Amino acid sequence: MSPLYLAGLAVDAIDGLSAVGVRPPYVETDDFVTGGVLDSKGRHWIVKAPMNTTAATSLEAEAAIAPLLLEALRQGELPFDIMRPAGFANVAAGGRAIVYPEPIGTPGDFETMTSTGAREVGRAIASIHMLPTETIDHAGLPHYAAEEFRVRQLAELHDADQTRAIPSLLRRRWEDALEDTELWEFEPAVLHGDIDSENFLWSGGTITAVLGFGGAHVGDPAVDFAPLLALPDPIFDAILDSYENTRGVSVDESTQTRAILLSELSIAKWLLYGIRTENDDVQHEARNMLTDLAADVESDPSSQPEPTWDVDPS
């Protein structure tokens, strides 16, 4: 999809919109194409279009929860703006593109984030986790109890194991952890579901908007910590400290252990995604990541960022 095609989608989606140009950002991934459009009134719009059915489903979920998040913002429950859908247009690849006013701010790289920025991220995640679970329920998005979530992870592991690409050491390691029911005792919370630097917009050192709520659901808070484990320890610690202070809860050792496990399991899910979308590059990358992780675990089962439970490699 070209920038001009996205501009055409904006015209289709918004009554009376007259596009006079395209502008950054223009980002194309395996799942989405996103581009900026300038209209004749000087308004800046963002067009986000799905590239496959999985992405289309995610985009519809983001649209479904947007009005509820906007209400939470109005009630002072969120300290940042969110995507505000203004119109939709069908795309040739299937699904609908969303057109929304361009939020203030630009993405910042988590890997170069300062401790001050880390505290911003911690506060933002905490504010999401503090939302009432009805936010998810009213949007018709998934709501998983603790045991239901554990069983779901185990089922996904078994699906991945059917590919015969999961090293036996990792399979036993993950099954042992998933069968430890005490580890999976947690209080479900509203989750963002796709914590990534591209979904956090910044201006003046402050998070101004959080996007990408297509994976939002009620479930294990560890889900939103898992993508942050690769950050330097002082940065990750600053995120946790700010999160705990904002939410008034402690992130216990079990939550951190589950986050580590989920970060590992995400590789298996990435493999399944590659298979379902028939993306050979993704499959190759995931298989290499699994091989590398198995080698790391075998050489030092207690090393980070892997969980600290041991597995007999024999």
Burial zone of 54 (CB within 10 Å; 0-12 exposed, 13-18 middle, 19+ buried): middle
Strands 106-107 and 200-203: antiparallel
Are 177 and 127 contained in the same domain? yes
Q: How many domains does the chain have?
A: 2
For residues 84 and 209, the answer to whether their CB atoms sit within 8 Å is no
pLDDT, residue 149, reads 95
Q: What is the pLDDT of residue 228?
A: 95
Domain that holds residue 148: 110-299
Decide if 310 is inside a domain: no
Together in a domain, 256 and 157? yes
What whole-number distance in Å separates Cα of residue 124 and Cα of residue 6?
30
Q: Are residues 138 and 287 in the same domain?
A: yes
Task: List phi, psi (to 5°) of 63.
Answer: -70, -35
Q: Which of 103, 120, 147 is the last residue of a domain?
A: 103
pLDDT of residue 309: 44
Whether residue 309 lies inside any domain: the answer is no
Same structural domain, 157 and 293: yes
Amino acid sitting at position 34: T
Same domain, 156 and 276: yes
CATH number of residue 57's parent domain: 3.30.200.20
**Alpha-carbon gap, residue 169 to 111, rounded angstroms:** 30
Tell whether 312 is covered by a domain.
Answer: no
pLDDT in tens, the chain (314 residues): 889 999 999 999 999 999 999 999 899 988 899 999 999 999 999 999 999 888 999 999 999 999 999 999 999 999 999 999 999 999 987 899 999 999 999 999 999 999 999 999 999 999 999 999 999 999 999 999 999 999 999 999 999 989 888 998 999 999 999 999 999 999 999 999 999 999 999 999 999 999 999 999 999 999 999 999 999 999 999 999 999 999 999 999 999 999 999 999 999 999 998 888 888 999 999 999 999 999 988 887 565 444 444 444 44
Residues 211, 191 within the same domain: yes
Quote the CA–CA distance of 141 and 84 in Å, as a whole number.
Answer: 18
Predicted pLDDT at 312: 46
pTM of the model: 0.89
Would 52 be classed as within a structural domain? Answer: yes
Query: Based on the domain organization, do 127 and 274 belong to the same domain?
Result: yes
Q: How far apart are the first and last CA of the chain?
A: 50
CATH code for position 231: 3.90.1200.10
Q: Are residues 81 and 150 in the same domain?
A: no
| 123 is a domain residue | yes
Interhelix angle for 146-161 vs 253-276, to 10°? 40
Q: How far is CA 110 from CA 117, 124, 250, 267, 298, in A?
A: 8, 14, 23, 20, 29
Asked if residue 174 and residue 47 are part of one domain, the reply reads no
Q: Is residue 138 part of a domain?
A: yes
Domain end marker among 59, 76, 103? 103
Is there a domain that residue 115 lies in?
Answer: yes
State the pLDDT at residue 251: 93
- Residue 56: what residue type? A
Tell me the pairing of strands 44-50 and 32-39: antiparallel
Q: Which amino acid is at 2?
A: S
Tell me how crowded residue 110 is: count the other CB atoms within 10 A of its CB: 21
Domain boundary among the residues 54, 80, 103 is at 103
- Asked if residue 227 and residue 119 are part of one domain, the reply reads yes
Residues 98 and 128 in one domain: no
| Residue 204 within a domain | yes
What's phi and psi for 96, nearest 5 deg? Answer: -125, 145
How would you label 165-192 residue by residue, b for 16+ Cβ within 10 Å and e otherwise? bbbebbbebbeebbeeeebbebebbbbb
Which of 109-118's residues contact partners 24+ apart within 8 Å by CB, and which partners?
109/197, 110/197, 110/200, 110/228, 110/231, 110/235, 111/197, 111/231, 113/231, 113/235, 114/235, 115/234, 115/235, 115/238, 116/205, 117/202, 117/205, 118/231, 118/235, 118/236, 118/238, 118/239, 118/242
Q: Based on the fold, state whether residues 133 and 282 are members of the same structural domain.
A: yes
Cα dihedral 264, 224, 199, 152 sign: positive
